[in-house]
Amino acid sequence: MPFPLEERRALLGVKGVGPTVIARLEQMGIESLSHLSSANALDIVSNAAAIVGSTCWKNSPQARSAIHAAIAFAQSRHA
């Protein structure tokens, strides 16, 4: 099940977070801000790298930054 529409729209407003980032989160079973707020950024980028078969997610400062920003946003909404 994907992120609820309101949460998806909110995440798209976070710098660096686009449809691909959200799609990867959903592929990992992260489908709500509540779930994302307790996630670990390193686990997410490692799993995303495994999903796409490339280390770009794990090694990219932009990808790590986007995931950190998404988690911080989720935590601010579910503190």
pLDDT in tens, 15-43: 999 999 999 999 999 999 999 999 999 99
- 3-class DSSP assignment, residue 31: coil
- State residue 58's pLDDT score: 86
Tokens representing 74 are 């989720």
**CA–CA separation, 7 vs 63, rounded Å?**
20
Considering only CA atoms, give the Rg of the chain: 11
**CA–CA separation, 53 vs 48, rounded Å?**
8
pLDDT band at 57 (very low <50, low <70, confident <90, very high): confident
**CA–CA separation, 56 vs 39, rounded Å?**
20
**CA–CA separation, 1 vs 33, rounded Å?**
13
